[in-house]
A and B are shown apart, each in its own frame.
Chain A
Amino acid sequence: MSELAESVRDAIEDGRLGPRLWLYANYHCNLACSYCLTESGPGAPRRELPPEAMRRAAREARELGFRGVGITGGEPFLRADLPAVAAELSDVLPVLVLTNATLFEGPRIDRLDPLRGSGVTLQISLDAASPVANDPMRGPGNFERVVRAIPRLVERGIGVRVATTVYGQDDAELAAVERLVAELGVVPEDHVVRPTVARGRAAGAGLGEVAGIDELPAEATVTVDGLFWSPFAPTVRGGRLDTDLLVSRQTAPLEDGLRSFVGLVGEAPLAEATRFR
């Protein structure tokens, strides 16, 4: 094992480095959520990570001791190649894809057939238990599409988790969303609740908690622009990419950038409350 792989394994083991390597598949999205970190939307520049770069990163991540791959964006499923690429990556490491699940209506869900029985899990955003509470942040029709999609995915044997982003919903609302998630066929362990981070569009809207290196746990994240400290890091504000949590412009080979990354990982364990999920 290389010295770097040993350092990565130790850091993951000690909880100083997240076990998953994150990949930003793209930056565009069919939605334009109020708290979006990356100012994603239909008109956002795509900035796609090429499939070969994703494959290479996953292979190298496994060699270095990472235990999983996360794919995020943007809405990854706006990419036509995403189901096939995600399924392919899951032959290397378990894959989690963050999605808004609004592109799986009717027969379009058949696009996801490569994921059936694969090591790919979808993590779907749902913030509240009714359209009235959910849709102002995420856009009209979002709630209905998501609650239609989840049982259909579960039926097809595609792994589903649900993520709720907290931006001010009260306890009753959060309890209601918990019940709804269970009714949709998702077990409580697969429902994650996470804070809004005050970067990107959220910062402009005065939402969320300020997050810098001291607040965000280390979770190596690859985008077309480089290697970042966390999936909360490669944010966009006013059309400009933030570089305050950039670690290296080098991502291929991954170990080039990761060498700098490991040098930054301190002795403190991950802050569970703010871990990206």
Chain B
Amino acid sequence: MAVLSAAGANGGQPGGPSRLPLVGRDQAPLTIRSLYAAGEPSNITKALAGSPDTLAAMAPFLSRVMNPTTLDLATKEVVVLRVSAANRCAYCVPTHEVAARRAGLSPAAVAALSSPGPPDERLAPRERTLARYCDQVVADAGAVGDALLAEMREHFEDHEIVELTVLAGAITTLNYLASVAGLPLDPGTLDAG
């Protein structure tokens, strides 16, 4: 898959060990121990745990922007997957292909979101607009033209556009960390694959 090889060239080697420490349950710092209560968390959480102060501040924020609000989970996963693909994140793309299917997106829609090139008719008009919006936000640092913003407004309220844009930025942050570390995939992702 093109997405995987591209990220390998940019950062850590997919399939290799993480280049940054992954904090396991036995070493979980006190302020973030609750994130380990249900068992070993994802590798991105374990990487963030290297800076517990950062993770302690980010966890409630990420939970807010990634979970359903007035926007359902499938819509959020469109952003997460498309932004991760645009950022060529070898860890986040397979992880959120699984999450997006669980959120109710069709296999065809998931494949469209994670493949390079303009979003096509495998996506419904609303998802297609959102995917194009994500591409433009990532590619050009938020320089979205009036026409595309107007198209977004046909599908989303202004407050939702704020939320989706912040989500795109939050996911970009995680894409950066995952690629710098070269995070290995989580067992759950491999099993689901």
The answer to whether the Cβ of A260 comes within 8 Å of any Cβ in the partner chain is yes
Segment at the interface with B among A77-85, A87-95, A247-255: A247-255
Residues of B contacting A250 with CB < 8 Å? 53
The answer to whether the Cβ of A169 comes within 8 Å of any Cβ in the partner chain is no
Residues of A contacting B23 with CB < 8 Å? 243
- Smallest CB gap from A233: residue in B: B30
The answer for the CA separation of A213 and B51 in the assembled complex, in Å, is 20
Task: For chain A, give the interface size range.
Answer: 10 to 19
The answer for the CA separation of A242 and B28 in the assembled complex, in Å, is 9
Most interface-central of A242, A244, A250, A264 (chain B CB within 10 A): A244
Residues of B contacting A247 with CB < 8 Å? 29-31, 52
The answer to whether the Cβ of A246 comes within 8 Å of any Cβ in the partner chain is yes
The answer for the CA separation of A263 and B31 in the assembled complex, in Å, is 9
The answer for the CA separation of A263 and B52 in the assembled complex, in Å, is 14
- Smallest CB gap from A213: residue in B: B30
Total number of residue pairs linking A and B with CB closer than 8 Å: 36
| Chain B interface residues (CB < 8 Å from chain A) | 23, 26-31, 51-53, 56
- Smallest CB gap from B51: residue in A: A249
The answer to whether the Cβ of A229 comes within 8 Å of any Cβ in the partner chain is yes
The answer for the CA separation of A213 and B28 in the assembled complex, in Å, is 12
| Chain A interface residues (CB < 8 Å from chain B) | 213, 229, 242-250, 257, 260, 263-264
Please state if B27 and A264 are interface contacts (CB–CB under 8 Å): no
CB<8 Å pairs between A and B, sample of 6? A242-B27, A243-B29, A244-B26, A244-B29, A247-B29, A264-B30
Chain A to chain B: the 6 pairs with minimum beta-carbon distance, closest first: A246-B29, A243-B27, A244-B27, A243-B29, A260-B31, A248-B53
Tell me how far the C-beta of B59 lies from the nearest C-beta in chain A, rounded to whole angstroms: 13
Please state if B26 and A260 are interface contacts (CB–CB under 8 Å): no
Please state if A245 and B53 are interface contacts (CB–CB under 8 Å): no
Tell me how far the C-beta of B17 lies from the nearest C-beta in chain A, rounded to whole angstroms: 15
The answer for the CA separation of A246 and B30 in the assembled complex, in Å, is 6
Most interface-central of B27, B28, B53 (chain A CB within 10 A): B53
The answer for the CA separation of A250 and B30 in the assembled complex, in Å, is 14
The answer for the CA separation of A257 and B31 in the assembled complex, in Å, is 11
Which single member of B28, B31, B53 contacts A264 (CB below 8 Å)? B31
